[in-house]
Chain A
Amino acid sequence: MNAVVNIIRRELSAYFATPVAYVFIVIFLVLTGVFTFYLGGFYERGIADLDPFFRFHPWLYLFLVPAISMRLWAEERRSGTIELLLTLPITLWQAVVGKFLAAWLFLGIALALTFPVWLTVNYLGEPDNGAILAAYCGSWLMAGGFLAIGSCMSALSRNQVVAFILAVVVCFAFLLSGLPMITDLFSGWAPQALLDAIAGLSFLSHFADISRGVIDLRDLLYFALVTGFWLMANMVVLELKKAD
């Protein structure tokens, strides 16, 4: 546990020691604002909720989370510090989880800094704050799923650009797997059970309920499983590829 905390502390301080953290937070806040108020029609709807805010989170995360995750392992590999990190008396699992949690906490901080939107909606009307809190938690969980995919992709290459593109592509596939764009690829030849399984993998459909403030245990379990699966894959990739 101490080892994980030590890694989280190091990683988080590294985010804030470079401009990465500040640039990311500013862009994240600007984009959430733009999406909520212009594309989401926050004022025009005349409803006191944050649906226009949360509805665009999957699409924001699609590009912004890989921007955070791309450096996780690619940078360690390129600079050689992976050799230093993995010869310390810590397990691979502790290293993977520590780096993941640090990035996830960082995304949590960025998400928490969107609180002026919440203040705004409370000033304008009387929203269901329980539902908003639930949606925040769901959004953060979904960010964890994206991040785990990105972390695994980052371990595949020492080039951060490659890591970014791979992460965006895989995240995009996960995001859309419930939509006809992906299911059409399988319909006609694959059994219905497989089709349902693929459609069931979609981030969008699992996030749809959460963003309205409905917490379903199955959705929580889904994001936890996706995150766990990709972190395991991350370990396997590191084990296989750390030599080159």
Chain B
Amino acid sequence: MIEAKDLCKHYGSIIAVDHLSFTVGPGEVLGFLGPNGAGKSTTMKILTGFLAPTSGSATVYGHDIVDDSLAARRRIGYLPEGAPSYGEMTVDQFLTFVARARGIEAGHIIATVGSAIERLNLGTVVHQSIETLSKGFRRRVGLAQAILHDPDVLILDEPTDGLDPNQKYEVRRLIGAMASDKIIVISTHILEEVAAVCNRAMIISEGRLLADDTPSGLLARSRYHNAVTLVVENPHRAASVLSELPEVAKAELHGRELTVFPTGDGLFEAVSRAVSTHGWDVRELRLEAGRLNEVFREITGGAAAS
């Protein structure tokens, strides 16, 4: 259980985190979403005990992150932003160092490091120095270091940044596999990631919590939620016909794509009926779940920028 109460962090006159409160429990994969500089990383640095909050408090399984910092840190695995590691060490040496620092008993270190290496497919680079590795491998070394001691809480700052699509898939699979009994907090600015791995999303901007919802809940806030998009031979005529329907609130044409927005239920059925009645030659017809980037822009106030 992580409980944050009224967390604030000021850097001089800059307010990085502004009265942030939330609670996360086991089984939750919480995604911090927000523009760059929103306070996501700062919040994570506070939760992991790296920075002390200016005011407010947070506990990790009952351990205060300031007063009982070591006990709190023992429960946490942390991947800092950019996955820093000691470049001159080999993967093996680095993970052994972290395992020792994590207080893993001498007899179990080899097995623990071995299992982390296996889980992140680092077997081929064990004896290479980290600075010679590709960005993807370095990120995986950072993840291996975070999960080494099988922590109850995983805090991952942009875990898939810089990975190729296959590696992203692997990391998301790994997070998904660990999710059932752990608290996982990830930060990202990749919106698809939230839908792919999180079961809860918090949108943060300028240090304030603007939305706290499930990914599907966020999608439902989109004006595209349950809208229908179609590509037809003559979109202008189709637009004028469809906008007459009682189920249609509005029709918009973007290039070849015609999107009609619902007034209530039954829009998709109504559009299908219209298509068959008029015998249009339809190339594409789809029901929109909602568009996260649009919700994100709207909530974080960047709508004008689009």
Q: Is the CB of A244 within 8 A of B81?
A: no
Is the CB–CB distance between B88 and A83 below 8 Å? no
Q: Cα distance A6–B100 when bound, in Å? A: 7
Shortest Cβ distance from B290 into chain A, in angstroms?
Answer: 36
CA distance A89 to B148 in the complex (A): 13
Instruction: Tell me if A83 and B11 are in contact (CB < 8 A).
Output: no
Chain B 66-91 interface mask (CB, 8 Å, partner A; 1/0): 00001001101010111011111100
Residue of A nearest to B11 (CB): A243
Docked Cα-Cα span, A13 to B89, in Å, equals 8
* Given A87-B49, A87-B73, A89-B101, A80 and B82 contact (CB-CB distance below 8 Å): yes
> Smallest CB-CB separation from B76: which chain A residue?
A87
Contact between chains at B102 and A2 (CB < 8 Å): no
A174-200 interface with B by 8 A CB criterion: none
Nearest B residue to A79, CB-CB: B84
A83 to B103, CA, bound (A): 18
| A91 on interface, CB distance cutoff 8 Å | yes
Q: How far is the CB of A103 from chain B (nearest CB, A)?
A: 15
Residues 209-244 of chain A, each 1 if its beta carbon lies under 8 Å from chain B, else 0: 000000000000000000000000000000000111
Beyond A6-B101, A89-B73, A243-B51, is A84–B88 a contact (Cβ under 8 Å)? Answer: no
* B85 CB contacts on chain A under 8 angstroms: 81, 84
Could you mark each residue 33-57 of chain B with 1 if its beta carbon is under 8 Å from any beta carbon of chain A, else 0? 0000000000001001111000000
Quick one: which of A13, A14, A18, A83 contacts B80, CB cutoff 8 A? Answer: A83
Partner of A242, one of B51, B78, B89, B93: B51
Residues of B within 8 A of A88 (CB): 73, 98, 101-102
B76 CB to nearest A CB, Å: 7
Given known A13-B89, A83-B50, A243-B51, contact A2–B100 (CB-CB < 8 A): yes
Contact, CB under 8 Å: B50 / A91:
no
- Indicate if A86 sits at the interface (CB-CB under 8 A): yes
13 interchain pairs, CB-CB under 8 A: A10-B93, A10-B97, A14-B89, A80-B81, A81-B85, A83-B45, A83-B81, A84-B80, A86-B49, A87-B76, A87-B78, A88-B73, A243-B45
B101 nearest CB across to chain A (Å): 4
Q: B88: nearest residue on chain A (CB-CB)? A: A17
The residue in chain B whose Cβ has the minimal distance to the Cβ of A95 is B101
- Any B CB within 8 A of the CB of A90: yes
Q: Check A89–B80 contact: CB distance below 8 A.
A: no
Q: Which residues of B contact A242 (CB under 8 A)?
A: 50-51
> Are A80 and B50 interface neighbours, CB within 8 A?
no
A91 CB contacts on chain B under 8 angstroms: 70
Chain A residue numbers with a CB within 8 Å of B74 are: 89
Interface string of A62-94 (1 = CB under 8 A from B): 000000000000000001110110111111000
| Chain A interface helix/strand/loop/mixed | helix
A141 → chain B closest CB, angstroms: 29
Chain B residues within 8 Å of chain A by Cβ, number: 29
Q: A9-B97, A90-B70, A242-B51 are in contact. List 13 more A-B contacts (CB 8 A).
A: A6-B97, A6-B100, A10-B97, A80-B81, A80-B82, A81-B85, A81-B86, A83-B45, A84-B85, A86-B49, A89-B70, A242-B50, A243-B51
A90-B89 contact given A243-B11, A244-B11, CB 8 Å threshold: no
Kindly identify, within residues 166 to 196 of chain B, every residue whose CB is under 8 Å from any CB belonging to chain A. Answer: none
A7 to B101, CA, bound (A): 8
Q: How far is the CB of A28 from chain B (nearest CB, A)?
A: 21
B300 at interface, CB cutoff 8 A:
no
Q: Which residues of B contact A79 (CB under 8 A)?
A: 84, 86-87
- Cβ-closest chain B residue relative to A17: B88
- What residues of chain A lie closer than 8 Å to B49, measured between beta carbons? 86-87
| Distance A79 CA – B80 CA, assembled complex (angstroms) | 11
A86 to B50, CA, bound (A): 6
Q: Which of B11, B70, B100, B145 contacts A84 (CB 8 A)?
A: B145
Within 8 A of A (CB), among B224-249: none
Question: Are A18 and B88 within 8 A (Cβ)?
Answer: yes
- Contact A80–B97 (Cβ < 8 Å): no
Tell me whether B129 is interfacial, beta carbon within 8 Å: yes
Instruction: Give CA–CA (A59, B160) in the complex, Å.
Output: 50
